[in-house]
Chain A
Amino acid sequence: MIREIGKRLFGANGASPDVEPVGARSAREGELERIVARISAIGSMILADAPSRDIFDAMVRGIVEDSGANFVVLRIARPGGDVFEMKACAGLGDVPAEPRRSLSVSRTTFLNLCGGGEPLADGFLVGVKKACAEPDGPVPCCAESPDRKILLAGIEENGAVTGFFTIGFFDGAPDERLVSQVKLCRDRVLLVLQRERAKEQLRDKERSLAICREELESVNQLKSNFLSVVSHELRTPLTSVKAYTETLLDNVDTIKRETLHDFLRVMDEESERIIKLVDNILNFSRMETGHLKVERTACNLNRMIEEVHVGLQAKFGAARIDTELRLPRHPCRIDADRELIAQLLQNLMANAIKFTPPGGKVTVTLEQEASAARIVVQDTGKGIPEDQIEKIFERFYQIDTSDTREHGGSGLGLAICKNIVDWHEGKLWVENVKDSGAKFVVMLPMKDIIVRQAASAGFIGSRRFERERYLTLLVEMLSEFLQARKASIMLLEKDQQILRIVAAKGLDSEFVQNTRLEVGDRIAGKVAQTGEPLHVFDIENDGEYGRANNTLFYGTRSFISAPLRDGDEIVGVINVSDHVEGREFTRADRELLEALSSIIIGMLKKLDAYELVSMNFEKLKEAMRASLEMREAWGSGNLVNLTLIALTIGKKLALDERSLTALRLGMNLYDLGLMRIPRNIRIKKEELTPKEREVLRGHPNIGFALTSPMHLEDRVMKMIRSHHEHYDGSGYPDGLSGSEIPVEARIVSVVDAFRALMSEGPYRRTFSLDEARAEIEKGALTSFDPDIVKAFVESLDDLGARDDKHELVLEAVEKELQEGRSERNKRPEMLQREPVKEEIR
Chain B
Amino acid sequence: MKKGKVLVVDDEVNITQILEFSIGAEGFEVITAQNGEEAIEKARREQPDLIILDVMMPKIDGYEACRILKANPLTKNIPVVLLTAKGRDIDKRLGMEVGATDYIVKPFSPNRLVERINQLLSCHKK
Contacts and interface: CB of A to CB of B under 8 A. Distances in A.
Given A232-B56, A235-B107, A406-B58, A243 B15 contact: yes
B122 interface: no
A236 B110 contact: no
Contacts of B17: 266
Contacts, number: 66
Contact of B107 (A228, A243, A406): A243
B28 to A, nearest CB: 15
Interface in A386-413: 402-406
A270 interface: yes
Contacts of B108: 239, 242-243
A732 interface: no
A235 B18 contact: no
Contacts of B57: 405
Given A235-B106, A404-B56, A405-B11, A247 B22 contact: yes
A191 to B, nearest CB: 56
A240 B13 CA distance: 10
* A236, A242, A404: most-surrounded residue (chain B CB, <10 A): A236
Contacts of B86: 228, 231-232
Contacts of A266: 14, 17-18
B29 interface: no
B3 to A, nearest CB: 18
Interface in A255-279: 259, 263, 266, 270
Contact of A238 (B19, B25, B61, B106): B106
B119 interface: no
Contact of A240 (B15, B87, B111): B15
A241 interface: yes
Contacts of B107: 235, 238-239, 241-243
Interface in A123-149: none
B38 interface: no
Contacts of A241: 107
B110 A246 contact: yes
B18 A243 contact: yes
A246 B111 contact: yes
A382 to B, nearest CB: 14
A241 B109 CA distance: 10
Interface in A640-688: none
A775 B4 CA distance: 73
Contacts of A259: 21
B85 A235 contact: yes
Contact of B14 (A232, A240, A246, A251): A240
A405 B19 contact: no
B12 interface: yes
Nearest to A232: B85
B95 to A, nearest CB: 16
Contacts of B22: 243, 247, 250
A244 interface: yes
A80 to B, nearest CB: 54
Given A231-B85, A232-B85, A406-B58, A251 B18 contact: no
A168 to B, nearest CB: 74
A239 B15 contact: yes
A246 B15 contact: no
A244 B57 CA distance: 21
A266 to B, nearest CB: 5
B58 to A, nearest CB: 4
A356 to B, nearest CB: 16
B56 to A, nearest CB: 5
B111 A239 contact: no
Nearest to A251: B25
A594 to B, nearest CB: 61
A219 B25 CA distance: 48
Interface string A268-310: 0010000000000000000000000000000000000000000
A236 B106 contact: yes
Interface in B61-112: 61, 85-87, 106-111
Interface in A736-792: none
A236 B61 CA distance: 16
A438 to B, nearest CB: 19
Contacts of A405: 11, 56-58, 61
B112 to A, nearest CB: 9
A239 B106 contact: yes
Contact of A270 (B14, B25, B106, B110): B14
A228 B18 CA distance: 25
B78 to A, nearest CB: 23
Interface string A787-824: 00000000000000000000000000000000000000
A236 B85 CA distance: 7
Contacts of B56: 232, 402, 404-405
A266 B20 CA distance: 15
Contact of B21 (A232, A242, A247, A270): A247
A250 B111 contact: yes
Contacts of B58: 402-403, 405-406
A591 B7 CA distance: 77
A258 to B, nearest CB: 13
Contact of A236 (B12, B19, B21, B109): B12
Interface in B23-50: 25
Contacts of A270: 14
B12 A240 contact: yes
A250 B85 CA distance: 24
A404 B14 CA distance: 17
* B17, B18, B58: most-surrounded residue (chain A CB, <10 A): B18
A270 B14 CA distance: 9
A273 B25 CA distance: 28
A235 B85 CA distance: 6
A381 to B, nearest CB: 15
Nearest to B88: A228
Contacts of A403: 58
A358 B93 CA distance: 37
Contacts of A231: 85-87
A11 to B, nearest CB: 86
Given A403-B58, A406-B58, A247 B14 contact: no
A235 B91 CA distance: 15
Contacts of B85: 231-232, 235-236, 239
A242 B83 CA distance: 14
29 contacts: A228-B86, A231-B85, A231-B86, A232-B56, A232-B85, A232-B86, A235-B107, A236-B12, A238-B106, A238-B107, A240-B12, A240-B14, A242-B107, A242-B108, A243-B18, A243-B19, A243-B108, A246-B110, A247-B22, A250-B22, A250-B111, A251-B25, A263-B18, A266-B18, A270-B14, A402-B56, A402-B58, A405-B57, A405-B58
Interface of A: 228, 231-232, 235-236, 238-244, 246-247, 250-251, 259, 263, 266, 270, 402-406
Given A238-B106, A403-B58, A404-B56, 8 more contacts: A231-B86, A240-B12, A240-B14, A247-B18, A247-B22, A250-B22, A251-B25, A405-B56
Q: Would you list the 10 A-B pairs with minimal beta carbon distance, nearest first?
A: A235-B85, A242-B107, A406-B58, A239-B107, A239-B106, A240-B14, A232-B85, A405-B56, A238-B107, A243-B18
